[in-house]
A and B are shown apart, each in its own frame.
Chain A
Amino acid sequence: MDIFGIPHQAFLGQLLLGLVNGAFYAMLSLGLAVIFGLLGIVNFAHGALYMLGAFAAWILFDQFGLNYWYALVLAPLIVGAIGVAIERLFLKHLYKLDPLYGLLLTFGLALILEGVFRELYGVSGQNYNVPEQLSGATDLGFMILPNYRAWVVLVSLVVCLGTWYLIERTRLGAYLRAGTENAPLVQTFGINVPLMVMLTYGAGAGLAGLAGVLAAPIIQVSPLMGSNLIIVVFAVVVIGGMGSILGSVLTGLGLGLIEGMTRVFYPEASSIVVFVIMVLVLMVRPAGLFGKEN
């Protein structure tokens, strides 16, 4: 069976790959949106934190013999803790300034993190094995589904929906949304806003770390894995608009799929298709698909 002249196995395979990429876009743009909402900072270091997550998993295995399942819990916590430290040491001083300074500072941090890891581990990637429980593939009849890829999509969907529930449907989320609207007012109601801000950045960093652990068995764990991804994620954020959480998740997944399809039909354009879509969306809806014009 062929789809548009492409063997359907290849087509579905690329589509799945696109969906996996989309899952990473969704998780990272979600973290960016939450951080931007409360801190007003575009976190350029997000890609570096994602890289840290993958390296944390690799080091936990390489140095301490802890397997994937430990890493899945520990690495996001480690990266989250680093995020908290970054917020306390650096970002805290920038809240009264133009948001552009936040972008520049986190850009500097990303350079530092990347440079240190490049010096320690070189540019070539490290291999991280797929955990044995998730290795192999399932024959669905119409396609062969690699188990680990399905797992990545599943986990990221659960995480994204969980984050959505936490922010939109719980009391803590209500504080967070109120803080986004008007932080000083929330503070007068007796809520510890600086603590909330710190934990939000930590949680966003942890989310990036989790994405890193999930990515580790699929791609080579390398110091540069984050910086190329983060620019695409910026484009995803511009396309979706940072207004809505479900919006950024949907945009992320959708763009991953479109990228996958481009890889089937016109591979040369697959690395730029997201940027082209960004330009088109900006022409029609400058605020992004789910954004609000302010």
Chain B
Amino acid sequence: MTHAKTLTRITYLVLLALLLTAPMLGLYPVFVMKLLCFALFACAFNLLLGFTGLLSFGHAAFFGSAAYVTGWFVKSQGWTPEMAIVAGGVSAGLIGLVVGLVAIRRQGIYFAMITLAIAQMIYFVCLQASFTGGEDGLQGVPRGDLFGLISLQSDTTLYYFVATVFVLSFLAIGRVVNSPFGQVLKMIRENEPRAVSLGYQVDRYKLVAFVLSAALAGVAGSLKTIVMGFATLTDVHWSMSGEVILMTLLGGVGTFFGPVFGSGIVISLQNLLADKVGSWVTVIIGVIFVLCVLTFRKGVVGELQAFRERRRRAAL
């Protein structure tokens, strides 16, 4: 095992330990849970942008519609939380299938514009549909009993459930990226014409990546509903799509841990600043966006990796 790999492994073990002990360390559990939901959202998004090279500007549609679906099943149908989360993920995946079929007909900048436009359409549907509660959204969604047995009313119980879902999803993304399928995705990112010339049906791979990413974004949205107890239009709004892009970009596009780190920064920043500066938060987010694009496009984790790489080269 190389030095770098050992280092990565140790980092992950430390982070896992931190994750498991967070409630004991006096961190506010609901805050950490919210953070984990957005971290999962960003990781799902990164599967598409970082590992397939497709910039979707409409991921809020998957996050938000799954949030609504879960909220509706729990609140109106009395489903247990895990079933409602599965329902949210599946419906987000199905919406992703339809959106993906349309969007992958164009590339690059057009792909971004198309996903943004379709997401805006879904936003309007959520605004007008009867089961979403319109402007008010779905409020007071109960946490329910996991498998109908374990009450999630206590923050600590819910925390470990959310942490488990997060870790499993994170590992699943890692498994996908490192599989032969993931290698094909990377090839598409690096050189699409070459992938075509080697006989890969590029569109199919892109579509599967899109659906996977949408479904996982849906799981993140569903978890968010269970944790926060509401699903609103904010979840499907285009600014949410922008936020997840920022989280990923800030942390490091195409790195494993970058999106987690990026969402940590953005969510903490919003939490810290919300009471103090009001709507300047939008401005600050905008400024970070601009700085990120102009000065460190690799993101925090990406720049760190690049720095380590340079050091290693210099040492040789």
- With the chains together, A109 CA to B238 CA distance in Å? 15
A-facing residues in B118-139 (Cβ within 8 Å): 118, 120-121, 124-125, 128
When A100-B108, A278-B114 are in contact, do A112 and B290 touch as well, CB less than 8 Å? yes
Contact with A along B14-51 (1 / 0, CB 8 A): 00000000000000000000000000000000000000
**A115-123, A183-191, A203-211 - the one binding chain B:** A115-123
Say which residue of B109, B117, B128, B279 sits within 8 Å of A231 (CB atoms): B117
Q: Are A109 and B286 in contact (CB under 8 A)?
A: yes
Q: Are B113 and A238 in contact (CB under 8 A)?
A: yes
B-facing residues in A184-232 (Cβ within 8 Å): 227, 231-232
B-facing residues in A44-101 (Cβ within 8 Å): 90, 93-94, 97-101
User: A10 at interface (Cβ–Cβ under 8 A)?
Assistant: no
Q: Closest chain B residue to A241 by CB distance?
A: B110
User: B285 at interface (Cβ–Cβ under 8 A)?
Assistant: yes
B-facing residues in A92-134 (Cβ within 8 Å): 93-94, 97-101, 103-105, 107-116, 118-119
A side interface size, CB within 8 A: 43
Q: Are A111 and B242 in contact (CB under 8 A)?
A: yes
- With the chains together, A90 CA to B293 CA distance in Å? 10
User: B102 at interface (Cβ–Cβ under 8 A)?
Assistant: yes
- With the chains together, A118 CA to B283 CA distance in Å? 10
User: B209 at interface (Cβ–Cβ under 8 A)?
Assistant: no
- With the chains together, A79 CA to B92 CA distance in Å? 41
Q: Are A105 and B289 in contact (CB under 8 A)?
A: yes
Contact with A along B271-301 (1 / 0, CB 8 A): 0000000111111011111101110010000
Q: Give min CB distance, B76 to chain A, whole Å.
A: 22
Q: Are B114 and A282 in contact (CB under 8 A)?
A: yes
Q: Closest chain A residue to B55 by CB distance?
A: A100
When A104-B245, A109-B290 are in contact, do A282 and B124 touch as well, CB less than 8 Å? no
User: A30 at interface (Cβ–Cβ under 8 A)?
Assistant: no
Say which residue of B108, B281, B290 sits within 8 Å of A90 (CB atoms): B290
**A11-19, A157-165, A269-277 - the one binding chain B:** A269-277
B-facing residues in A248-294 (Cβ within 8 Å): 268, 271-272, 274-276, 278-279, 282-283, 286
Chain B residues near A116 (CB-CB < 8 A): 283
A-facing residues in B55-109 (Cβ within 8 Å): 55, 57, 102, 105-106, 108-109
Q: Give the dominant DSSP class at B's interface.
A: helix
- With the chains together, A173 CA to B147 CA distance in Å? 68
Q: Are A100 and B109 in contact (CB under 8 A)?
A: yes
Say which residue of B106, B125, B245 sits within 8 Å of A272 (CB atoms): B125
- With the chains together, A283 CA to B101 CA distance in Å? 9
Chain B residues near A108 (CB-CB < 8 A): 285-290, 292-293
Q: Give min CB distance, B109 to chain A, whole Å.
A: 5
User: A235 at interface (Cβ–Cβ under 8 A)?
Assistant: yes
Q: Are A235 and B290 in contact (CB under 8 A)?
A: no
When A112-B287, A115-B279 are in contact, do A275 and B117 touch as well, CB less than 8 Å? yes
Q: Are B287 and A119 in contact (CB under 8 A)?
A: no
Q: Are B290 and A276 in contact (CB under 8 A)?
A: no
User: B116 at interface (Cβ–Cβ under 8 A)?
Assistant: yes
User: A42 at interface (Cβ–Cβ under 8 A)?
Assistant: yes
Say which residue of B124, B280, B293 sits within 8 Å of A115 (CB atoms): B280
- With the chains together, A103 CA to B57 CA distance in Å? 10
Chain A residues near B187 (CB-CB < 8 A): none
Q: Are B238 and A111 in contact (CB under 8 A)?
A: no
User: B112 at interface (Cβ–Cβ under 8 A)?
Assistant: yes
User: B249 at interface (Cβ–Cβ under 8 A)?
Assistant: yes
Q: Closest chain B residue to A99 by CB distance?
A: B109
Q: Closest chain A residue to B291 by CB distance?
A: A108
Q: Give min CB distance, B105 to chain A, whole Å.
A: 4
Contact with B along A10-49 (1 / 0, CB 8 A): 0000000000000000000000000010000010000000
Q: Are A282 and B282 in contact (CB under 8 A)?
A: no
Interchain residue pairs with CB less than 8 A apart (7)? A231-B117, A231-B238, A234-B116, A271-B124, A275-B121, A278-B114, A278-B118
Interface residues of A (CB under 8 A from B): 36, 42, 90, 93-94, 97-101, 103-105, 107-116, 118-119, 227, 231-232, 234-235, 237-238, 268, 271-272, 274-276, 278-279, 282-283, 286
| Contacts A109-B286, A112-B282 supplied; 4 other A-B pairs, CB < 8 Å | A97-B297, A103-B112, A115-B280, A283-B102
